[in-house]
Amino acid sequence: ISLVNARLHAQIKERNERLKMLNDISKAISSTIEFSELLDMVVSFCLKITQAETGYLFLCKSRTRKKQLQFSDLECQSGLDHNGKKLKELKISQSIIRKVLEEVAPLCLLDTQQDQEIAAQASVMALDLRSVMCIPILGEENICFGVLYLSSQAVSYCFTSRDLSLMESLVRQVG
C-alpha cells in the first residue's frame, strides 16, 4: 500500500506542477503585448516543459486562411534552443511538418527510429532526430494556421502523452 501511495503522491505532485506551469503561462501570455515576444515565450515554455532541445513556431505567411496549408505557406516566427538562445537556422524535418499539416493532427514520436517511414526521411537521419513533437495551431473553425515543432536528439528523455496534452493546451493560447 505504501508503494501505491508513493506513486499516487508523485503523480499528483507532477499534475499540480503542470497545472501551475499552465497557469503561469496563461498569466504571462495575457500580460504580453508584443506578439513576437509572446511567440518566443510560448516556445520557451514548451521547451522547459518537455525538456526538448529545440523548438520552433511556424505561422502562415498570409492573412488569408487556407483550408489546407502547405509547408511553403509557413514562416518561422520563433526558434529557440533549450537555453532560450535564438536559432539562426532551421533544423527541422519538413516531412513531419507536412504530415501534421496534411492530417491536421498532432504527431508525437517518442523514438523516430521506431517509425520506419519517418526514420527513412533524409532530414531525420541528417539531423539525428530521436524525439519529435509537432502540433497544429488551430484557429476559428479548426482551420490550421501554423505549427509548434519540438525536437530532441537525446534518447534519455522522451515526450509523454501528458506533454502532448499540455502542449496542445498551450498552443490553443496562440490560436
Q: pLDDT means per 10 residues in the chain (175 residues)?
A: 79 78 73 79 87 92 75 93 92 89 88 64 66 87 88 72 78 70
What pLDDT score was predicted for residue 58? Answer: 95
Indicate the pTM of the whole model. Answer: 0.81
Q: How far apart are CA 139 and CA 26, in angstroms?
A: 17
Helix (H) or strand (E) holding 42: helix 35-50
Q: How far apart are CA 10 and CA 55, in angstroms?
A: 28
